């Protein structure tokens, strides 16, 4: 996460490599109490934490501090909360210091862990939003965010370190700053309460969202997006998450704690949408947002051209790919990325179904749990054939015997797919929204050897 | 960027923060028929594998790593009893040539006898089983990696007679199955062949256990820096042992060949002829670059032995380090660096600063200062330092190239540099290949 947030890992030094630091915007904001064996055996683990926290507060000028726990410290019963309270009291600091009991002895799923972290971040003290003159105060903030986003787009590769949310990207340069401001003012003019007409997007991968047409389409229709959560969101966005009226959420079941905080704590509303991958799910995404915000017509017109291009691409591909066998892997991922976890990892499924593939789900897990998996899929309304496999290395024979033409699996299954001679696409690598459809199909076509093959009348 | 106070530097996350478990995991990954059972909590489950999987595009570590699924209930009941069933089950599923068991700090501290539990289980398993304690308080990746080499050495039958001219390398850091390591081993094999020697085993060089055990054929064991701490164990094998640096850079490679050749009893004249001829080819190749780097300086981040190798090479290329960050805690620090470079006849420049086991923060603050003054043209280091340098350069000018500084990734993790052609880092060929990378980085075309 970008922003002046410092992280203290309270434990032995080796636990510091639980993160992929070189992919983070600010590894220099990570600290470890580097507990020694002697400190652990004698139970003297509070003093290093107190000293570390005091120094972090003094020297890093953080807007928030997270203190994480490790297995060892959980095992010996350390109580960081007390130490944190003492340090905060002694230093008179007003910086929020949050303790997360991340010791690895309590097993829980990726989704629960992610939800817990996001609920914690959303519980950070919110920046004030006074009723009087809120629109005028919002405008410069939104413009600033748009410029930050614009900058990160220009500096391709810079990621979203500088900030990631925007009412609309300026990348197409179609609007001069004054016109841009005017459009924003128009969008907010119909608002009756603070935050009306302003929405957060939760659960769409921010990079894909930015590459797509979505922010521009939403903006043109008058939808003001204030923040893209959870991954990539800047600390200041978490501290303003309550300022919007509506949260547009991909898979509300993924965020029970976060939504409890947003709905009950802040009185915000939630609109659940599908993961906008492929034609039909993207269409539904826009339709739901438009309907909820009373902007259905405006949104329909803003997305029309994008939808038509995507429709044509899907229709052409379907003629060539209908009936081809596709293996789609589930429960193979060990990460915390929201779009990958959404809808039980099946967020992409409909994008393949609409292309006419003959799909089989390959579910990683104990074979004896096959009945349970079948029930889970049924609950999600999925009636596709399913096979359970115990570990990635048992995939090769399964893929070969299944006669699959293509597989959509976690990256670590690449070797198995190679062995089985089945072309593979990495899970959740499909680009979102309408503008993602054509490149997705191009990649799939290449994999399937369909490039250049005509699909009948009207096909390119 | 202001540097942290000394007091806070103690707590700040180090640029090389990998501990013993990471080293064990990397070593297990280097032995294609090994399987690693982590006796840990869930936090350690994919700690190293996650890093390796993005570092190595040629082979995934996940399929050869499991864990004993210790949660709080197992901890209370006693977790060591889980080792036997898990080992047997993994053996049945994978049929590995070697099983490694690595525990973590908190399980070691329960006082349970993990070693005994492993020994007991090993009795019912057909392949060798080795236990490596994974204390996370001290030590680093290199210590963990070295422990696996020790375990392998114990599996070699040293009673067989050595074959004349056969040499094995001990302490080679094989961190991925990409073409850079294949190229290194090919280089070293070729160089030894020039001296009339045969390279037999490389511990660890990406070979299966059976090939590692063939080290028994070698009369001479070359202890690379990572194996210096186990010289006694090597000598106990009854074989000749020579401790060397890394054969990196032109002078570093010549020095290495001289040391190995002498230890193997190769005629001094022959060694001199070989090194002079091959070094001459390499120097000629590097000439083109050297003439264009006048006045340029570099920042270098590597574990001490590799910093000696790279430091020597950068000096040869006319890019002497202005800043060196030593990414380890076990190779002797700045003193060892200076000593190693001195032996190559390429001492550090007087204005060069050496940081021992620096934090990301300290590295960032030093790089920021050097970038600010325009004193730096190239940053050689892992993906960690490269990312930091890139972000600092971008903060200043909008893009790295505009600012004039470039990065060349080396070491672990290397996520922006993957190798599909045989580009070595070691030997004379390695000097040329890395010279080419620097040349491309400094003078290559860019859309930026």
Nearest residue, CB atoms, B41 vs list A20, A25, A105: A105
Q: Residues near B44 by Cβ (< 8 Å), separated by ≥ 6? A: A71, A104, B21, B38, B67, B104, B134
Chain A residues with CB under 8 Å of B363 CB are 28
Q: How far is Cα A7 from Cα A28, in angstroms, rounded to an integer?
A: 10
CA B9 vs CA A34, A55, B361: distances in Å: 12, 10, 8
Chain B residues with CB under 8 Å of A104 CB are 40-45
Chain B residues with CB under 8 Å of A147 CB are none
Q: Residue A148: pLDDT band by 50, 70, 90 thresholds?
A: low
**Looking at A96-105, A186-195, B354-363, which range is the least confident one?**
A186-195
Report the residue count for chain A.
460
Q: Residue B242: pLDDT band by 50, 70, 90 thresholds?
A: very high
Nearest residue, CB atoms, B19 vs list A17, A27, A415: A17
pLDDT at B42 over 50: yes
ipTM of the complex: 0.89
Chain B residues with CB under 8 Å of A334 CB are 46, 50
> Containing H/E element for B325?
strand B321-326
Chain A residues with CB under 8 Å of B75 CB are 75, 105
* Beta-carbon-side half-sphere exposure of residue A22 (alpha carbons within 13 Å): 23
Q: What is the 3-state secondary structure (H, E, C) of chain A?
A: CCCCEEEEEECCHHHHHHCCHHHCCCHHHEEECCCCHHHHHHCCCHHHHHHHHHHHHHHCCCCEEEEEECHHHHHCCCCHHHHHHHHHHHHCCCCCEEEECCCCCCCCCHHHHHHHHHHHHHCCCCCCCCCCCHHHHHHHHHHHHHHHHHHHHHCCCCCCCCCCCCCCCCCCCCCCHHHHHHHHHHHHHCCCCCCCCEEEEECCCHHHHHHCCHHHHHHHCCCEEEEEECCCCCHHHHCCHHHCCEEEEECHHHCHHHHHHHHHHCCCEEEEECCCCCHHHHHHHHHHHHHHHCCHHHHHHHHHHHHHHHHHHHHHHHHHHCCCEEEEEECCCCCCCHHHHHHHHCCCHHHHHCCCCEEEEEEECCHHHHHHHHHHHHHCCCCCCEEEECCHHHHHHHHHHCCCCEEEECHHHHHHHHHHCCCEEECCCCCCHHHHHHHHHHHHHHHHCCCCCCCCCCCC
Nearest residue, CB atoms, B19 vs list A13, A33, A155: A13
- Name the closest residue on chain A to residue B397, using Cα atoms: A155
- Name the closest residue on chain A to residue B63, using Cα atoms: A393
Measuring CA to CA, which residue among A68, A65, A126, A52 is closest to residue A97? A65
Quote the pLDDT of residue A114.
85
Chains A, B: CB contacts within 8 A come to: 168
Give tens-digit pLDDT for A387-412.
998 887 788 999 999 999 999 998 88
Query: Higher pLDDT residue, A226 or B264?
Result: B264
Cβ–Cβ of B388/A28 closer than 8 Å? yes
pLDDT at A459 over 60: no
- Name the closest residue on chain B to residue A27, using Cα atoms: B360
Listed in order, strand segments (DSSP E) in B204-256 are 218-223, 240-243
Quote the pLDDT of residue A167.
40
Mutate to test the interface with A, among B10, B14, B16, B43 (most CBs of A within 10 A): B43
Chain A residues with CB under 8 Å of B364 CB are 28
Q: Residues near B332 by Cβ (< 8 Å), separated by ≥ 6? A: B304, B339
- Bridge-based pairing of strands B321-326 and B240-243 is unpaired
Percent of chain B scoring above 90 in pLDDT: 71
Mutate to test the interface with B, among A17, A162, A417 (most CBs of B within 10 A): A17
Q: If you average pLDDT over residues B46-74, what whole number do you get? A: 85
Cβ–Cβ of B11/A414 closer than 8 Å? no
Q: Residue B126: pLDDT band by 50, 70, 90 thresholds?
A: very high
Measuring CA to CA, which residue among A261, A226, A232 is closest to residue A246? A226
The pair of three-digit structure tokens given for residue B446, joined into one six-digit string: 């860019």
Quote the pLDDT of residue B229.
93
Quote the pLDDT of residue B410.
95
Name the residue with tokens 């060591």.
B80
State how far residue A337 is from chain B, nearest Cα, in angstroms.
15
Mutate to test the interface with B, among A49, A50, A71 (most CBs of B within 10 A): A71
Q: Residue A2: pLDDT band by 50, 70, 90 thresholds?
A: low
Quote the pLDDT of residue A450.
67
Whether A230 contacts A113, CB under 8 Å? no
Cβ–Cβ of B42/A107 closer than 8 Å? yes
Chain A residues with CB under 8 Å of B379 CB are none
Mutate to test the interface with A, among B35, B79, B86, B137 (most CBs of A within 10 A): B137
pLDDT at A93 over 60: yes
Interhelix angle A296-321/A279-293, nearest 10 degrees: 170
> Containing H/E element for B103?
strand B98-103
Q: If you average pLDDT over residues A272-287, what whole number do you get? A: 96
> Containing H/E element for B266?
none
Nearest residue, CB atoms, A14 vs list B94, B136, B361: B136
**Looking at A20-24, A321-325, A396-400, B142-146, which range is the least confident one?**
A20-24
Query: Cα Rg for chain A, rounded, in angstroms?
Result: 24
The pair of three-digit structure tokens given for residue B25, joined into one six-digit string: 């995991």
Nearest residue, CB atoms, B5 vs list A16, A59, A106: A59
Cβ–Cβ of B391/A391 closer than 8 Å? no
Interhelix angle B427-443/B250-263, nearest 10 degrees: 170
Cβ–Cβ of A155/B394 closer than 8 Å? yes
Query: Higher pLDDT residue, A109 or A101?
Result: A101
Cβ–Cβ of A106/B72 closer than 8 Å? yes
Quote the pLDDT of residue A457.
37
Interhelix angle B179-194/B250-263, nearest 10 degrees: 50
The pair of three-digit structure tokens given for residue B183, joined into one six-digit string: 């190229």
State how far residue B371 is from chain A, nearest Cα, in angstroms.
17
Quote the pLDDT of residue A83.
95
Quote the pLDDT of residue A160.
34
Cβ–Cβ of B137/A104 closer than 8 Å? no
Nearest residue, CB atoms, B51 vs list A17, A71, A103: A17
pTM assigned to the model: 0.85
Quote the pLDDT of residue A65.
94
State how far residue A389 is from chain B, nearest Cα, in angstroms.
13
Cβ–Cβ of B17/A16 closer than 8 Å? yes
Q: If you average pLDDT over residues A253-280, what whole number do you get? A: 95
- Name the closest residue on chain B to residue A69, using Cα atoms: B43
Arithmetic mean of pLDDT over chain B: 91
Q: How far is Cα B259 from Cα B282, in angstroms, rounded to an integer?
A: 20
For residue A128, the tally of other CB atoms under 10 A from its CB is: 8
Quote the pLDDT of residue A173.
46
Arithmetic mean of pLDDT over chain A: 83
Exposed/middle/buried for residue B76 (C-beta within 10 Å: 0-12, 13-18, 19+): exposed
Quote the pLDDT of residue B86.
93
Give tens-digit pLDDT for A196-235.
778 899 998 877 887 888 888 888 888 888 888 988 788 8
State how far residue A401 is from chain B, nearest Cα, in angstroms.
20
Quote the pLDDT of residue A146.
66
Name the residue with tokens 């199909």.
A441
Percent of chain B scoring above 70 in pLDDT: 97
């Amino acid at each position: 996460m970008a922003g002046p947030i410092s992280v203290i890992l309270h434990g032995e030094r080796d636990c510091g490599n639980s993160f992929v630091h070189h992919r983070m915007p600010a590894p220099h904001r990570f600290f470890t109490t580097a507990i020694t064996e002697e400190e652990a055996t004698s139970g003297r683990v509070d003093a290093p934490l107190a000293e570390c926290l005091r120094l972090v507060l003094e020297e890093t000028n953080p807007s928030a501090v997270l203190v994480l726990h490790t297995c060892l410290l959980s095992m010996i019963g350390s109580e960081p909360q007390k130490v944190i309270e003492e340090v905060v009291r002694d230093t008179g600091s007003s910086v929020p210091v949050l303790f997360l009991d991340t010791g690895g002895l309590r097993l829980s799923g990726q989704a629960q862990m992610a939800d817990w972290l996001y609920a914690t971040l959303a519980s950070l003290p919110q920046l004030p939003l006074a009723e009087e003159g809120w629109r005028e105060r919002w405008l410069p903030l939104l413009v600033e965010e748009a410029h930050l986003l614009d900058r990160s787009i220009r500096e391709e590769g810079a990621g979203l370190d500088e900030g990631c949310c925007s009412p609309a990207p300026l990348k197409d340069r179609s609007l001069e700053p004054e016109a841009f401001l005017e459009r924003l003012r128009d969008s907010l003019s119909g608002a009756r309460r603070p935050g009306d007409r302003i929405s957060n997007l939760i659960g769409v991968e921010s990079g894909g969202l930015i590459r797509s047409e979505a922010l521009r389409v939403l903006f043109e229709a008058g939808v003001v997006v204030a923040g893209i959560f959870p991954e990539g969101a800047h600390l200041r966005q978490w501290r303003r998450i309550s300022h919007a009226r509506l949260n547009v959420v991909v898979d509300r079941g993924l965020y029970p704690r976060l939504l409890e905080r947003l709905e009950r704590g802040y009185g915000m509303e939630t609109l659940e949408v599908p993961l906008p991958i492929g034609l039909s799910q993207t269409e539904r995404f826009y339709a739901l947002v438009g309907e909820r915000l009373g902007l259905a017509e405006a949104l329909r017109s803003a997305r029309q051209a994008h939808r038509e291009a995507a429709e044509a691409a899907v229709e052409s591909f379907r003629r060539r790919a209908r009936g081809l066998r596709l293996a789609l892997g589930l429960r193979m991922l060990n990460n915390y990325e929201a779009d990958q976890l959404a809808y039980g990892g099946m967020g992409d499924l409909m994008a393949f179904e609409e292309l006419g593939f003959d799909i089989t789900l390959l579910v990683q897990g104990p074979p004896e749990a096959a009945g349970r998996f079948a029930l889970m899929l049924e609950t999600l309304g999925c009636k596709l054939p399913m096979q359970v496999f115990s570990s990635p290395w048992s995939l090769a024979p399964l893929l070969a015997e299944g006669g699959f033409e293509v597989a959509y699996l976690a990256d670590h299954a690449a070797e198995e797919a190679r062995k089985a001679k089945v072309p593979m696409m990495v899970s959740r690598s499909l680009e979102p929204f309408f503008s993602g459809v054509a490149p997705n199909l191009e990649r799939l076509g290449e994999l399937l050897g369909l490039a250049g093959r005509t699909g009948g009348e009207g096909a390119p | 960027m202001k540097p942290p106070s000394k007091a806070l530097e103690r707590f700040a996350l180090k640029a090389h923060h990998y501990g013993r478990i990471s080293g064990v995991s990397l070593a297990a990954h280097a032995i294609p028929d090994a399987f690693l059972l982590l006796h840990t909590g869930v936090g350690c489950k994919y700690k190293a594998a996650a890093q390796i999987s993005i570092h190595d595009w040629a082979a995934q570590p996940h399929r050869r790593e499991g864990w004993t699924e210790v949660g709080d209930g197992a901890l209370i009941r006693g977790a060591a009893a889980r080792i036997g069933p898990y080992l047997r089950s993994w053996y049945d599923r994978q049929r590995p040539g070697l099983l490694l068991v690595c525990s973590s700090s908190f399980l070691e501290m329960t006082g349970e006898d993990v070693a005994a539990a492993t020994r007991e289980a090993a009795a019912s398993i057909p392949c060798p089983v080795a236990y490596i304690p994974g204390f996370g308080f001290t030590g680093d990746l290199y210590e963990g990696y070295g422990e696996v080499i020790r375990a392998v050495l114990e599996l070699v039958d040293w009673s067989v007679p050595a074959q004349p001219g056969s040499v094995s390398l001990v302490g080679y850091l094989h961190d991925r199955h990409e073409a850079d390591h294949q190229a290194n081993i090919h280089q070293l094999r070729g160089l030894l062949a020039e001296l009339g020697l045969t390279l037999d085993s490389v511990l660890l060089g990406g070979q299966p256990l059976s090939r590692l055990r063939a080290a028994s054929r070698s009369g001479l064991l070359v202890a690379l820096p990572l194996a210096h701490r186990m010289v006694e164990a090597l000598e106990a094998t009854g074989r000749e042992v020579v401790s060397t640096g890394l054969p990196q850079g032109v002078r570093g490679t010549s020095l290495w060949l001289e040391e190995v050749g002498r230890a193997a009893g190769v005629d001094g004249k022959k060694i001199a002829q070989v090194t002079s001829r091959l070094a001459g080819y390499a120097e000629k190749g590097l000439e083109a670059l050297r003439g264009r780097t006048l006045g340029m300086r570099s920042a270098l981040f590597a574990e001490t032995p590799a910093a000696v190798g790279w430091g020597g090479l950068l000096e040869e290329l006319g890019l002497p380090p202005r800043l060196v960050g030593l990414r380890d805690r076990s190779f002797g620090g700045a003193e060892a660096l200076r000593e190693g470079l001195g032996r190559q006849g390429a001492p550090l420049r007087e204005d060069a600063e050496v940081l021992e086991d620096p934090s990301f923060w300290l590295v960032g603050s030093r790089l920021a200062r050097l970038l600010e003054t325009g004193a730096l043209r190239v940053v050689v280091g892992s993906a960690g330092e490269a990312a930091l340098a890139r972000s600092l350069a971008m903060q200043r000018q909008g893009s790295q190239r505009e600012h004039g500084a470039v990065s060349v990734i080396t070491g672990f993790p290397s996520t922006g540099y993957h190798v599909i052609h045989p580009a070595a880092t070691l030997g004379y060929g390695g000097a040329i290949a890395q010279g080419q990378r620097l040349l491309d980085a400094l003078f290559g075309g860019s859309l930026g």
